[in-house]
């Protein structure tokens, strides 16, 4: 292990980790928004839109991110829609993640008993108020474990970004292997970088899950 | 122009080449899924043991494999093993190895979960009836565990098929590589081939994974 090499090139990894984190969190936030939107459409059984939403969920969950990104980055320009690598990465990640997040929210909504909604109605709340004050908070606490798992999953998926010419961690590692043949050092820093990014997230997710176990209805 | 692009899919044996490429990905994932099923079942049973050393080792293995992106694992095996130990694995062999390691971890956790979810009194009733430990496993525990496990294991297979698309990044010639070759070969005659070819691959993956997901969802509901 060449420590001089590691300290010389560590800044490259820090920069690349910044790219991964920035695009990853942007994609995850958008995925949450898309997922929530789709699950609302399905929950309120909005005609036509609910079929589009469920088609979208199936499409995004049953195709790999790499294929989605290749289509966005190499395919769409032929239609005159040229997106930069960064935009492709974020759009791809939120397309993929949206489907997974929608499923997570849906399972939460399903877990809320129908009686809760009826009780709200009999108290004279509007359907918007029922959603805001009764159904959503309960559904959210059920969904959190699945949502957290999705966040970790999506952060891991960002490793594919290098395929659309983004200088992320994989790209830097491959570059260093190709340029200097310092395979061990490059891979060591790669693993370390991903551990530094992902370990706190997964520990935090586990802590959140434990805390929420007390937030359920009736205990 | 746009309406002519789709013909690139059916020119010569292009579509067949894409399908053959897809078959390579599926072959890798099926091989890895089969191996993971065997090793994962074993790992899952080992993980239910009370031995703290076994627990700690399997826990570290599981957490490391699960937290690393699969592409990083592929790089570790494909580039790292070669350099560190002089083992020269082909892209396909490293892919099978990596996806088996990953699948074993995931499957092991599923098996452990299924075994733990079976109430303790099932074991106790078996013992009270005079069954030996192997008989309890074979007649009481495994049939119940398999029922819970089946949809989850099938879901894992679709995840594996989707994740195997990464192998193109370590140089395995599969569907994405075949696509790039076709697009390059038709660069001048069909300039917008990329749109149609990548679009086609998107739906090819979908039509492979979707039925499997539906099957898993149905099995899950049937419980």
Residue A219 lies in a domain: no
Mutate to test the interface with A, among B8, B59, B95, B165 (most CBs of A within 10 A): B165
d(CA B189, CA B192): 9
- Full residue range of the structural domain in which residue B114 is found: 6-222
Q: What percent of chain B has pLDDT over 70?
A: 98
Of A62, A70, A191, the CB nearest to B209: A62
Chain B residues with CB under 8 Å of A79 CB are 2, 192, 195
Q: Is residue B192 part of a domain?
A: yes
B100 domain residue, yes or no: yes
Is B28 inside any structural domain? yes
Token look-up 């690139």 returns B8
- Chain B's closest residue to A187, CA to CA, is B76
Give B172's DSSP letter. Answer: -
Contacts of B183 in chain A (CB under 8 A): 74
- What interhelical angle do A183-212 and A169-180 show, nearest 10? 160
- Cα separation values, A113 from A108, A118, A138, B65, Å: 10, 9, 10, 37
pLDDT tens profile B167-219: 998 888 888 888 888 888 888 888 788 888 899 999 999 999 999 999 998 98
Domain assignment of residue A111, yes or no = yes
Q: Which residue, among B37, B10, B39, B1, has the nearest Cα to B156 in the 3D structure?
A: B37
- Asked if residue B1 belongs to a domain, the reply is no
Host domain of residue A156: 3-214
What is the spatial distance between Cα A216 and Cα B151, in angstroms, rounded to a whole number?
A: 27
Domain count for chain A: 1
- Overall domain count for chain B: 1
Here the CATH number for the domain that contains residue B115 is 1.10.3720.10
Q: Which residues of B touch A61 (CB under 8 A)?
A: 213
| Domain presence at residue A209 | yes
CA distance, residue A74 to nearest chain B CA (Å): 6
Q: What span, in angstroms and rounded, lies between the C-alpha atoms of B204 and B197?
A: 10
d(Cα A32, Cα A43) in Å, to the nearest integer?
16
Q: What is the mean pLDDT of chain B?
A: 88
- pTM for the whole structure: 0.89
| Long-range contacts of the stretch B19-23 (C-beta < 8 A, 24+) | B19/B204, B20/B178, B21/B173, B21/B174, B21/B175, B21/B176, B21/B177, B21/B178, B21/B179, B22/B174, B22/B175, B22/B201, B22/B204, B22/B205, B22/B208
Asked if B209 contacts B26 with a C-beta cutoff of 8 angstroms, the reply is: no
Q: How many CB pairs under 8 A join A and B?
A: 114
Chain A residues with CB inside 8 Å of B179's CB? 70
Residue A37 lies in a domain: yes
Token couple for B216: 């898993």
pLDDT tens for chain A, 219 residues long, are 778 888 888 888 999 999 999 999 999 999 999 999 999 999 988 899 999 999 999 999 999 999 999 999 998 888 888 889 999 999 999 999 999 999 999 999 998 888 888 999 999 999 889 989 989 988 988 899 899 999 999 999 999 998 888 888 999 998 888 888 888 888 999 999 999 999 999 999 988 888 876 555 554
Cβ–Cβ below 8 Å for A194 and B83: no
**pLDDT tens-place string over residues A120-175:** 999 999 988 998 998 998 898 889 989 999 999 999 999 999 888 888 899 999 88
* Facing A67 at nearest CB: one of B169, B194, B201: B201
On whether residue A98 sits in a domain, the answer given is yes
CB contact under 8 A, A159 and B176: no
Whether A49 is in a domain gets the answer: yes
CA dihedral A180, A183, A185, A186 (to 10 degrees): 80
d(CA A192, CA A190): 5
Integer angstrom CA distances of residue A207 from A148, B49, B60, B110, B145: 11, 25, 18, 21, 28
Structure tokens at A26: 């942007």
What residues have CB less than 8 Å from A5, skipping those under 6 apart? Answer: A180, A182, A185
Chain A positions contacting chain B at CB under 8 Å are 58-59, 61-64, 66-68, 70-71, 74-79, 152, 156-160, 162-163, 170, 173-174, 177, 181, 183-184, 187, 190-191, 194-195, 198-199, 202
CATH number at residue A17: 1.10.3720.10
Instruction: Name which of A68, A79, A190 is nearest B75 (Cβ-Cβ).
Output: A190
Q: Is residue B210, in this structure, part of any structural domain at all? A: yes
Interacting residues of B58 by C-beta distance below 8 A, sequence separation 6+: B43, B46, B47, B108
What ipTM score was computed for the predicted complex, to two decimals? 0.88
- State the DSSP H helix or E strand holding residue A37, giving kind and residue range, or none if neither: helix A3-43
Closest Cα of chain B to A21: distance in Å?
Answer: 14
The pLDDT value given to residue A219:
45
pLDDT for B147-171, tens place per residue? Answer: 889 999 999 999 999 999 999 988 8
Query: How many CB atoms are closer than 10 A to CB B27?
Result: 14
**Chain A residues closer than 8 Å to B5 by CB:** 78
């Amino acid at each position: 292990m060449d420590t001089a090499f590691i300290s010389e090139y560590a800044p490259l990894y820090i920069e690349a980790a910044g790219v991964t984190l920035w695009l990853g969190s942007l994609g995850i936030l958008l995925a949450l928004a898309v997922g929530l939107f789709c699950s609302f459409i399905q929950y309120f059984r909005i005609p036509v839109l609910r079929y589009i939403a469920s088609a979208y969920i199936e499409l995004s969950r049953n195709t790999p991110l790499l294929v989605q990104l290749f289509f966005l980055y190499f395919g769409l320009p032929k239609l005159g829609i040229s997106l930069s690598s960064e935009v492709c990465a974020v759009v791809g990640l939120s397309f993929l993640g949206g489907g997974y997040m929608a499923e997570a929210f849906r399972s939460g909504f399903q877990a809320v008993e129908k009686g809760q909604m009826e009780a709200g109605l009999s108290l004279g709340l509007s359907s918007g108020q029922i959603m805001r004050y009764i159904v959503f908070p309960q559904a959210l606490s059920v969904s959190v474990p699945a949502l957290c798992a999705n966040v970790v999953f999506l952060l891991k998926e960002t490793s594919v970004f290098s395929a659309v010419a983004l200088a992320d961690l994989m790209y830097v590692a491959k570059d260093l292997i190709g340029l200097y043949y310092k395979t061990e050092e490059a891979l060591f820093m790669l693993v370390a970088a991903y551990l530094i990014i992902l370990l706190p997230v997964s520990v935090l997710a586990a802590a959140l899950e434990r805390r929420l176990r007390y937030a359920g209805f009736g205990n | 122009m746009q309406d002519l692009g789709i013909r690139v899919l059916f020119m010569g044996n292009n579509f067949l080449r894409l399908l053959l490429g897809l078959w390579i990905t599926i072959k890798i994932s099926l091989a890895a899924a089969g191996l993971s099923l065997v090793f994962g079942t074993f790992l899952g049973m080992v993980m239910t043991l009370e031995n703290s050393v076994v627990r700690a080792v399997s826990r570290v293995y599981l957490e490391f494999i699960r937290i690393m992106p699969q592409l990083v694992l592929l790089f570790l095996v494909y580039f790292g093993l070669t350099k560190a130990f002089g083992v020269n694995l082909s892209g396909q062999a490293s892919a099978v190895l990596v996806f088996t390691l990953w699948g074993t971890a995931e499957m092991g956790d599923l098996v452990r979960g299924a075994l733990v979810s079976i109430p303790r009194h099932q074991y106790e009733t078996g013992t009270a009836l005079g069954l030996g430990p192997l008989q309890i496993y074979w007649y009481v525990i495994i049939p119940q565990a398999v029922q819970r496990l089946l949809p989850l294991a099938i879901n894992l297979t679709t995840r594996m098929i989707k994740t195997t698309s990464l192998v193109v990044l370590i140089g395995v010639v599969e569907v994405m590589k075949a696509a790039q070759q076709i697009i390059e070969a038709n660069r001048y005659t069909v300039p917008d081939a990329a749109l149609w070819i990548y679009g086609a691959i998107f739906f090819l993956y979908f039509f492979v994974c979707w039925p499997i997901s539906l099957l898993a969802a149905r099995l899950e509901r049937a419980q």
